[in-house]
Amino acid sequence: MAGTSPDYDNVRMGGPDGIRIPQEQGKCCFVVTKSNNILAGVTSILTAAGAIPMVSGTYMISGAAAIAMTLATPTTPDEDGIVLKLIAGTAHAHTITTAANKIVPSLDKVTFAAVGDYVILQSSGGLWFNLGIGGPTPAALSAV
């Protein structure tokens, strides 16, 4: 039986709007894999004590010992909307400290314990808002 060029068989993948398979090519198989690369999407790896950049991104805190980091108070409106995802890359008690009561509600310290612990903070109105926290432990927010 001849069809129009190219000659298709009657196999459709993924429903009526899916892929049509030409007879010349035969059937195929698609392989989809999930990336487990922990560094995928990391903006920077912080390995020494100091200030966290006031630039949106994903930052991994990684060192041979616990690292004490500081996070500045965002200025408003210039620094409103900064989103920081901070991830522990090593299993040490890394800390991030802000000025008093700058992490809503009235907190100023983040402590990590396990690899993969994280916190997501967004700046608005001179404060840091917690958009998410998690990880194996997960990271802890507290007041100094």
**Domain total of the chain:** 1
What is the C-alpha separation between 113 and 91, in angstroms, rounded?
A: 6
pTM greater than 0.75:
no
Asked whether residue 22 is domain-assigned, the answer is: no
- Residue 117 counted as domain residue: yes
Q: Is residue 115 part of a domain?
A: yes
Structural tokens at position 21: 């398979």
Contact 82, 122 (CB under 8 A): yes
The conformation of residue 103, written as its DSSP 8-state character, comes to B
36 part of a folded domain: no
pLDDT at 44 over 90: yes
What range defines the domain where residue 118 resides?
44-142
CATH of residue 99: 2.60.120
Within-domain flag for 82: yes
38 inside domain: no
Comparing CA positions, the residue from 89, 80, 144, 85 lying closest to residue 113 is: 89
> In angstroms, how far is CA 107 from the centroid of its own chain?
22
Q: Which two tokens stand for residue 142?
A: 């507290």
Query: 């000659």: which residue's tokens?
Result: 7
Asked if residue 104 is part of any domain, the answer here is: yes
Give per-residue pLDDT as tens, 48-63. Answer: 999 999 999 999 999 9
Look at residue 41 in the predicted model and tell me its pLDDT: 82
